Structure 1
């Protein structure tokens, strides 16, 4: 059960990193929310659409790999496998890189204070 919570934390950390990167890059809130929010919403919608491949829709097999949500392999976690640890490390690394990129982009801005 704890492993599933680590997976949810890794997904949330990656999503938060993407939003932080978007808000660090863009000056206007409508651009940052639009870019980061639409990207995250697209990841979630693709994951929902791809979940129909598990129920026999054969044309959606490739859609499962278009989203970062697929890196949270809850089936392997429940089966007590070890493949999920590397995938969660990728999610954590993605979040850390996005947070660092957002920090660098924000520090490069010339803010009129």
Structure 2
């Protein structure tokens, strides 16, 4: 798969319903620390960003949430994938970020 097709593919097939399901799982886990949640969505972000991390990004990131990425992620197709699907800007400054992905 080319880098360009990795950027445009891999998001939720049913964005509203899948984002709601991920959000519900996240809130349940936040309400019960130590709980392991299972995400049953089909996000396929470009490597090395994992499926669960991609689902979280699709659910919680938007144009108001700057994202910081680890060096390995920032050199991959992940920054463009996140920007295209969520509108979130990738920042190099950790203090400006609202989310960080490793």
Q: TM-score, normalised by structure 2?
A: 0.31
Structure (1 or 2) with the greater helix fraction: 1
**TM-score (ref. length: structure 1):** 0.29
Higher relative contact order (CA 8 A, sep 6+): 1
Higher strand share: 2
